[in-house]
A and B are shown apart, each in its own frame.
Chain A
Amino acid sequence: MSVLDSKIPPGPIESKWTRHKFESKLINPANRRKFEIIIVGSGLAGASAAATLGQLGYKVKCFCYQDSPRRAHSIAAQGGINAAKNYQNDGDSVHRLFYDTVKGGDFRSREANVHRLAEVSVDIIDQCVAQGVPFAREYGGMLANRSFGGAQVSRTFYARGQTGQQLLLGAYSALNTQIAAGNIEMFPRTEMLDLVVVEGQAKGIVTRDMTTGAIRSFAADCVLLATGGYGNVFYLSTNAKGCNATAIHRAYKKGAFMANPCFTQIHPTCIPQSGDYQSKLTLMSESLRNDGRVWVPKKKGDTRAAHEIPEEERDYYLERKYPSYGNLAPRDISSRSAKEACDAGRGVGPGGLGVYLDFADAIQRLGAETIKQRYGNLFDMYHQITGDSAYEGPMRIFPAVHYTMGGLWVDYDLMSNLPGLFVLGEANFSDHGANRLGASALMQGLADGYFVLPYTLGNYLVPQAGNRPSVDHPAFKQAEEEVRARTSTLLGIKGRRSVDSFHRELGLLLWDLCGMGRSEKSLKRALARIPTLRDEFWKNVNVSGQNEEMNQALEKAGRVADFLEFGELMCLDALERRESCGGHFREEYQTKDGEALRDDENFAHVAAWEFKGDRQPPVRNKEQLTFESVKLATRSYK
């Protein structure tokens, strides 16, 4: 087993970050130009890091698989971004945001990182406002706030139901200032297919140009991955179709540890699946739970239309079970409650896989116009997709895979155990524990990119000055050869099944066996079936066309091949974590009333998986979590 040093600075939690910033190594402006930095991903974390490092004078190369950096999936975040501004004078503070996030994560995140996140949250809002992000305003011109799940204060800043879009376009505009200044070279439609490690340090990547198929190496002083989460391992999720785990999985296979991959977030309010052809699921923002009430019929198998069910025959189950948080209970709890109701035969709509989110009371209280102002674009989207109007009847919603808290292991500097590899945003594991609170993903992505990494990077770079290898180094040649060999193997199989059919089968299997509920039995079944499916993939997949062209089937095939390995690791992690916490609900470990039962004595740690070879089982390393500022307690929202 390897020793994991999280490098948490000493001292009281409130001063760790201030102290660490002072103790971190600085690089003078003239010397920054000598360092080349690779950033993979152009979402909130990647774009904000690229812009900030470019502004500081580093030479940055930024890569994304999309045709433009503005299309990264951060763009789809709807509800908002948290910050401990306490503009509402309702008792918020850095400490409260910190506390809520640690508690919301069910005590499986790293305290010091979370406190830093809460501290810099306030600067993020200022920075975004300065960039011209059109946040919602009150009539007096001040910034408006709304509340979100898992909090009793209003600390969420928003721009209609398009907050992610506006923040990403802000970061994209900052990125553009640096592209225009010549500090950033942008590589759209370029996919990272391997990480290059030279003498134990991450020093470059191998990419495929998605237009020409050219395989090319890039060397740098360090590599930053900001490639998002792995939710698409489930096939159906709220992620964009192109989102994938290839970058982080390839890094894992080159020696970076994968932490807590079993921590996946199932979002409670998504539009239910309507058929087998469906390619993705669409989220309906959590902000809707500010005004919408969640309910199912009290009676099993009730097939009456919603409006025919009288008030006394409805079960507003979140309000009943969690009176103090009500409809704003955190995501893991809300999703599980929806599953419980559906499992008990009280779900609504086709197959009984749905619950109602009802705005009738809010419309009566505030008027349809106010509701339209708050959620107009979401109601339109719902109408577009389902053909139904949520102004006239309740929405029908169901949980769906949305976010992944697990990711590559990083220390306090956001550096992986593999020196020179930094991991930002959803791609790392550190801040959200076993469950992320709403409006905290945007906060973390921008915190890492704008305010954390630019300070911590120097600690690695300073002693590395002049240590950048050339792409002629044998490690690059070898990685390129491996990429070429893999690509030609995929193209040469010429089997009978499409890439999508394998992806769908894997996704369904994971949803059933490693989804909202998991058990030793289900996980062992998954672990038996995934290798068989993977073997079939490598014997029978059909990938058309050639490498030397735009080939979308080939792109997908490479990603699905990685998901077929990653999915297995996820199930293994879920099996070994013999407790329930946050989004990881092991059916064997629950309280009498069906709440998650944590085991702090044996599992208050991060599981960081170490790759040992394709035919060897990975090793489970541990980072013990200590809670000095927040007392370990049973999480209650009742």
Chain B
Amino acid sequence: MNLHLKVWRQKSANAEGRLVDYEARNIPEDCSFLEMLDIVNEDLQAKGDEPIAFDHDCREGICGTCSLTINGIAHGPSATTTCQLYMRKFKEGETIYVEPFRARAFPVMRDLVTDRGSLDRCQQAGGYVTAAVGSAPDGNAIPVSKGKADLAMEAAACIGCGACVAACPNGSAMLFVGAKVAHLAYLPQGQPERDRRVLSMVRQMDKEGFGNCSNYYECEAVCPAEIPAIVITKLNREYAVASLKDTIGAA
């Protein structure tokens, strides 16, 4: 198939960017969106032009590295990661807009590559159970009901791609932070640091310039890991309880 592309090109973080027109020719329907960009890049280099920079790695939907806004939708039209989006989803001759993830907390570094270090810093603020190596009791000494384990797993499945942030009109990271808070709040191992964790992660989230949630649910719609928006409800409840306890000195 043949497609018209309008791709965001930006030389560096401080340079101005713009949409540039490219023709993608003879693209097989069974190739992925990133493989389509590979083909376009091969053509560009053959002509002596610089290839389009984009982030990608595992190309099987789990590492969370790939990150494009395609026709205005984070990861494009199939509610998967961009690497798992196949060209059969598009029509012959279609015009496709390819832009980086857009959010205040994700500055563009070059072309389609953004800096998502803000997500790591939210995790470093408290997205863990402090369990020194060597101190763990036997695995079966901490029974977890299947229901709780399944809920924890559902939230833990987050791949950290940041599509939720890019899709949110407020640039909020509450689905991302909520997923970690919920994952650990469901488990007995997460209890001792439960209040501290949520307070600290939310503080960091605000510091990084992420916006607030105002219930658009765009995040849930684009999430390739199908993290449910209920983790945001959970985050709000956890935060309210922890704040209250913090005020009375019980957190």
Judge: A and B partners, yes or no.
Answer: yes
Using a CB–CB cutoff of 8 Å, the interface residues on chain A facing chain B are 48, 51-52, 55, 66-71, 73, 75-76, 85, 87, 123, 125-132, 134-143, 159-160, 162, 165-166, 169, 172-174, 176-177, 179-180, 186, 188, 211, 238, 240-242, 274-275, 277-280, 282-283, 381, 384-385, 387, 450-451, 454, 498, 500-501, 542, 544-545, 549-550, 552-553
Q: How many A-B residue pairs lie within 8 Å, measured between CB atoms? A: 213
Name which residue of chain B comes closest to A552, CB basis: B53
**B92 contacts A by Cβ under 8 Å:** no
Q: How far is the CA of A234 from the CA of B43 in the complex (A)?
A: 23
Q: How far is the CA of A51 from the CA of B134 in the complex (A)?
A: 12
In whole Å, how far is A543's beta carbon from the nearest beta carbon of chain B? 9
In whole Å, how far is A505's beta carbon from the nearest beta carbon of chain B? 14
Q: How far is the CA of A549 from the CA of B110 in the complex (A)?
A: 9
Contact of B133 among A186, A450, A549 (CB under 8 A): A450
Residue from the set A76, A127, A277, A278 with the largest chain B CB neighbour count within 10 Å: A277
Q: How far is the CA of A283 from the CA of B109 in the complex (A)?
A: 32
Given A278-B31, A279-B34: A52 in contact with B133 (beta carbons within 8 A): yes
Contact B57 A126 (CB under 8 A): no
Contact B58 A75 (CB under 8 A): yes
- Size class of the B contact interface (CB-based, 8 Å): 35 or more
Contact B187 A384 (CB under 8 A): no
Q: How far is the CA of A71 from the CA of B63 in the complex (A)?
A: 5
Contact A127 B156 (CB under 8 A): no
**B117 contacts A by Cβ under 8 Å:** yes
Contact A142 B143 (CB under 8 A): yes
**B157 contacts A by Cβ under 8 Å:** yes
Known interface pairs A132-B183, A384-B86; 13 further A-B residue pairs with C-beta atoms within 8 A, sorted by A's residue number: A70-B64, A87-B140, A131-B129, A137-B149, A176-B124, A188-B120, A241-B56, A277-B28, A498-B42, A542-B45, A542-B46, A544-B45, A553-B45
User: In the assembled complex, which residues on chain B have CB atoms less than 8 Å from the CB atom of A66?
Assistant: 57, 63, 65
Contact B123 A172 (CB under 8 A): yes
User: In the assembled complex, which residues on chain B have CB atoms less than 8 Å from the CB atom of A143?
Assistant: 139-140
User: In the assembled complex, which residues on chain B have CB atoms less than 8 Å from the CB atom of A126?
Assistant: 136-139
Contact of B65 among A67, A139, A159, A165 (CB under 8 A): A67
User: In the assembled complex, which residues on chain A have CB atoms less than 8 Å from the CB atom of B78?
Assistant: 384
User: In the assembled complex, which residues on chain B have CB atoms less than 8 Å from the CB atom of A274?
Assistant: 30
A-B contact pairs, 14 of them (CB 8 A): A68-B120, A71-B57, A123-B136, A126-B136, A129-B136, A134-B152, A159-B153, A159-B156, A160-B153, A174-B131, A240-B57, A277-B35, A553-B45, A553-B51
Contact B31 A134 (CB under 8 A): no
Contact of A454 among B42, B51, B120, B133 (CB under 8 A): B133
In whole Å, how far is B30's beta carbon from the nearest beta carbon of chain A? 5
Contact of A381 among B42, B46, B60, B64 (CB under 8 A): B60
Contact B146 A139 (CB under 8 A): yes
In whole Å, how far is A336's beta carbon from the nearest beta carbon of chain B? 25
User: In the assembled complex, which residues on chain A have CB atoms less than 8 Å from the CB atom of B144?
Assistant: 134, 137, 141
In whole Å, how far is A271's beta carbon from the nearest beta carbon of chain B? 10
Contact A76 B45 (CB under 8 A): no
Contact A169 B60 (CB under 8 A): no
Mark contacts of B120-136 with chain A using CB atoms, 8 A cut-off: 1 yes-contact digit, 0 otherwise: 10011111111111111
Q: How far is the CA of A598 from the CA of B145 in the complex (A)?
A: 48
Q: How far is the CA of A323 from the CA of B65 in the complex (A)?
A: 43
Contact of B35 among A87, A137, A172, A279 (CB under 8 A): A279
In whole Å, how far is A33's beta carbon from the nearest beta carbon of chain B? 17
Contact B86 A385 (CB under 8 A): yes
Contact A165 B86 (CB under 8 A): no
**B61 contacts A by Cβ under 8 Å:** yes
In whole Å, how far is A328's beta carbon from the nearest beta carbon of chain B? 23
Contact of B84 among A73, A75, A384 (CB under 8 A): A384
Q: How far is the CA of A67 from the CA of B51 in the complex (A)?
A: 19
In whole Å, how far is A551's beta carbon from the nearest beta carbon of chain B? 8
In whole Å, how far is B130's beta carbon from the nearest beta carbon of chain A? 6
